Amino acid sequence: MKKRLASLRWRLVMYVFLIMLMANLITGSIYVLLIHLGVLGRSVFAHMMGPVWLMIVSGVVGTIIAGWIGKFYLSPLKDLIHATERVAKGDFSVRLPVEKNSEMGTLMQSFNSMARDLGSIEMFRNDFINDFSHEFKTPIVSIRGFARQLQRDDITDDERKEYATIIANEAQRLSNLSANILLLSKLENQQILTEKTDFSLDEQLRTCILLMEKEWTAKEMELDIDLDEVVINGNAEMLSQVWMNILGNAVKYTRRGGNIAVSLKRAEQTAVVRISDNGIGMDPLTKSHIFEKFYQGENSHHQQGNGLGLAMVKRIVELSSGKIYVESEKGMGTTFTIVLPIGG
């Protein structure tokens, strides 16, 4: 960038030099022609005012030439100013023609990239607000509706308990949604993972499996566990959320009596965790969007959730300098593969 700015600066200096040289040549030529035609006496050369008038006329001619060339040369800059004003007013669809192999072309290309990125951010912001509003509105409407039902005098005690349970669950859903949004916002604004320690990854996975024992035993599921002993350097609390979320989804979207497999293998300087299930799986469209905030596939709407879990999972893995992959086929199950550096 510094080289391009220096090149542009020297080009402007050369333009000014050539303009003034051109103005002097034109003025001098006209001056000599007028003397040759006898319009001006030859004695004018000896007069003190001759050079002064020559400089004045050269300045006027140079200004006219500079104005004409400047209008042509600065036209793209004028277009850039107008385009910038449109972007400032919220119009991110504006694009400028790109001149190849020039500093101005590079500037135009950078502007187009900026406008495109801003447009994407604006679209994402609008989608986020719409999805967020929808996710908050749904439980609030439910709470309001069942609260009104509780005010009726003609309902039974069983119905009253059922409505109160629904209100409590919806309130918990709102609480979880708020907590997840705050955590995801923190993760997105965080560039470095802090509080990293050495810990046993296989023991952490076993702990997470035991914490979810109530859920998978209630569905009479079988677990196939194959864990190598691996010690890694990372944020144990954050990574625990990764395993709990993926395991929770595996239990949630696997039918009663299904199977979940959890494996941990060491591959050189990385730890590879695979969590597989033989559940309902995902279609290609759902698979391509699962890490997006608030996205819920067709089957997800029948389950409790808010579409933030896997977005947090992906961000935590990224902050841990790892990678996450997903393989899934509708009706055949899903496999998540997480690769983490052992050294952090």
Task: Please spell the DSSP secondary structure of 166-220, one letter per residue.
Answer: HHHHHHHHHHHHHHHHHHHHHHHT--S--S-EEEEHHHHHHHHHHHTHHHHHHTT
Residues 213 and 268 in one domain: yes
Residues 245 and 301 in one domain: yes
Which of 116, 142, 174 represents a domain boundary (last residue)?
116
Q: How confident is the model at residue 272 (pLDDT cuts 50, 70, 90)?
A: very high
Residues 8 and 91 in one domain: yes
Which of 124, 158, 188 represents a domain boundary (last residue)?
188
**207: pLDDT strictly greater than 90:** yes
Which tops the pLDDT comparison, 310 or 76? 310
Q: What percent of the chain has pLDDT over 70?
A: 62
How far is 62 from 306, CA to CA, in rounded Å?
68
- Domain membership of residue 78 (yes or no) is yes
Q: Mean per-residue pLDDT for 186-210?
A: 82
**CA dihedral of residues 42, 45, 48, 54 (deg, nearest 10):** 110
- Domain membership of residue 125 (yes or no) is no
Q: How confident is the model at residue 122 (pLDDT cuts 50, 70, 90)?
A: low
Residues 6 or more apart whose CB falls under 8 angstroms from that of 2 comprise none
Opening angle at CA 70, ends 65 and 75, nearest 5: 145
How far is 190 from 192, CA to CA, in rounded Å?
6
Buried b (16+ CB within 10 A) or exposed e, 237-265: ebbbbbbbbbbbbbbbbbeeebebbbbbe
Residues 235 and 332 in one domain: yes
As for how many domains the chain has, the answer is 3
Residues 16 and 55 in one domain: yes
Q: How confident is the model at residue 292 (pLDDT cuts 50, 70, 90)?
A: confident
Give the DSSP letter string of 233-267. Answer: EE-HHHHHHHHHHHHHHHHHTS-TT-EEEEEEEEE
Give long-range contacts, CB 8 A cutoff, 24+ apart: 2-5: 4/103, 4/106, 5/103
- Domain membership of residue 162 (yes or no) is yes
Q: Mean per-residue pLDDT for 317-334?
A: 90
Domain of 140, in residue numbers: 134-188
Q: 267 pairs with which residues across the strands?
A: 270
- Domain membership of residue 123 (yes or no) is no
Residues 265 and 148 in one domain: no
Residues 81 and 207 in one domain: no
Residues 206 and 334 in one domain: yes
- Domain membership of residue 166 (yes or no) is yes
Amino acid letter, 102: S
CATH number reported for the structural domain that contains residue 275 in this entry: 3.30.565.10
- Domain membership of residue 121 (yes or no) is no
**19: pLDDT strictly greater than 70:** no
Which tokens is 69 given? 């060339």
How far is 257 from 195, CA to CA, in rounded Å?
39
User: For the whole model, what pTM was predicted?
Assistant: 0.54
